[in-house]
Amino acid sequence: MKGGTAILRKVLTESGWVQGIPAADPRVTAFKGIPFAASAAGENRWRAPQPAPPWDGIRKCFEFGPIAMQEIPGGNPNDIYTREWHVDGTVPMSEDCLQLNIWTNAKSADEKLPVMIWIYGGGLMVGYPSEMEMDGECIARRGVILVSINYRVNVFGFLAHPALTAEAPDAPTNFGHLDQQAGIRWVKRNIAAFGGDPDNITIFGQSAGGGSCEIQLCSPQNAGLFRRAVIHSGGGLLPPSSLSPRLSEAEKQGERLFKALGVKTLEEARRVDAQTLWNVAVASGSFEWGTVIGDAFLPDTPANIIGRGEENDADLVIGNTGDEFLFSPSVDSEEALEEYARRKFADCADEYLAIVRKGAKSPDDIKKNATYNNFEMGNMLWLDLNARKPKHTMYFYRFDPDIPGWDDPGAFHSSDLWFAFETLAKCWRPFTGKHYDLARQMCNYWTNFARSGDPNGDDADGTPMEKWEPYTADTRKVMLFSDRPRLQTAEQSEFFRFLQQSCESGRISFRSLNAFNSEKELR
């Protein structure tokens, strides 16, 4: 009897052998729950990720590892994300969560396939790589290895405290981002054994995961770690750039937390039960957790680092959905509008009022005139800054198809995930053929970009897809993903141009323009 085609199911990593499981398509192998670092419990709580201990024998990587400590997924049945994908409230949760997952269709270790590393979103408060929409099989079927990384969130990932700074001045906070970095470094060291090319890595993520990609791009510790990034709804030069506290400010919050916990030392805090810690630090609503500015990992805000052109070299795809985080002033009178304008726009208030009042016959008209997509604003600031002094090849997209369903959600924040991973068949929404076509082509663009830095290529039937041109000062091209991919010129309203020009000139600060009050809102 003749032997069949070899499929890569067992791999030797730096810590030991791992065995994967056939995906739904048996030509793809999924390795789930591979430790890339040691448990973050006990003495490793609030420490930079430590090396994963070795194991004997073959580790069966057939199931996802525990998710990071957070609120129980799916607890609110009225939440759109509960309806969308937080379907299992019994998913294991633990501080021993620093594991990653790999999907590969390599048949041997010498194939040098391109690699995409996924960083999930959730406002740096929740989220996990085993969410059902993030399945890597369709990406792997295209000859691109997909890796998804787990990382610490909320207080477990982003506490700062003077005792931590004294203990580890080079890594006093931002543990969740350091987890992401450690996962990328693990991939760099080990992915060749899975058939991947360690010199052809693309990181990508959405929401706080997209912002995390931007932060990894800006860390001076990451030079040469990856070649490209795809940033879904990361906020560009607005969130998280204009929200994050400085280290000294974050340390003061850490001191308040210790008082709330009734502990005086770091050792005592590390002994607090994980659920008790979460109840006091997160569930109480008394504290906010997220990226901290001013440590060795992230010495300045991403906006400042990018503004000075100091970010790492990488080609970029950035974009946003059409209906996410649309912001307009919550005012119900002319007096309230005047007060809002003077407070938020200061010396630009008269110009702001003239634009938003133009042609308006009612307060609703004014709100409509003053509405903008906060994330698209941040992306355009980044795109136009780069267009004036090109450092990266940048591709811009707007995701704005009709999303079906009884809730009539529009192109809501995160709706593009079903399409980028081509996992629509898992969703409850009544998607039709045009949606499946769009998802297939989006996944094509993403994997083409990961392969070569150029998203263009042929569709599955051999016909060329719509040509996607980079965003430049002369062309200002945006790929609109609506009923189908269509390349357009990025047009802007008078109000949008006013906001952008005022922000670029320094008349309006990034923080003032930001529609959000805290990291907690970016979920």
The residues carrying an active-site annotation are 207
Contact by Cβ (8 Å): 501, 294: no
Query: What is the spatial distance between Cα 304 and Cα 21, in angstroms, rounded to a whole number?
Result: 44
Q: Tell the burial category of 180 from Cβ atoms under 10 Å away from its Cβ (0-12, 13-18, 19+).
A: buried
C-alpha of 521 from chain center: 14
Q: Is the peptide bond before 240 cis (omega within 30 degrees of 0)?
A: yes
Helix (H) or strand (E) holding 197: strand 196-206
With b meaning 16 or more CB within 10 Å and e meaning fewer, what string describes 78-95?
A: eebbebbbbeeeebebeb
Name 184's Cβ contacts closer than 8 Å, sequence gap at least 6.
117, 149, 201, 203, 216, 222, 225, 226
- Is residue 233 a contact partner of residue 320, using CB atoms and an 8 Å limit? yes
Burial of 127 from C-beta contacts in 10 A (0-12 / 13-18 / 19+): buried
Q: What is the three-class DSSP state of 328?
A: coil
Q: Which residue type occupies 315?
A: D
CB 125 within 8 A of CB 282: yes
How many other β-carbons are positioned within 10 Å of the β-carbon of residue 167? 13
H/E run at residue 477: strand 477-481
Amino acid at 167: E
- Helix then strand then coil, in percent of the chain rounded to 5, is 35, 15, 45
The CA R_g of the chain, rounded to the nearest whole Å, is: 23
Report how far residue 87's alpha carbon sits from residue 101's, in angstroms, rounded to the nearest whole number: 20
CB 175 within 8 A of CB 182: no
Transcribe 9-74 into DSSP letters.
-EEE-SS-EEE-EE-SSTTSEEEEEEESS---SGGGTTSPPPPPPP-SSEEE--S--PBPS-SPTT
**Dihedral angle sign, alpha carbons of residues 19, 204, 235, 247:** positive
Cα–Cα separations (whole angstroms), residue 437 to 424, 434, 444, 523: 11, 5, 11, 28
- Coil, strand, or helix at residue 310? coil
3-state secondary structure of 252: helix
In the chain, the amino acid numbered 169 is P
- Integer Cα distance of 255 and 251 in angstroms: 6
Q: Number of C-alpha atoms within 13 angstroms, CB side, residue 456? A: 10
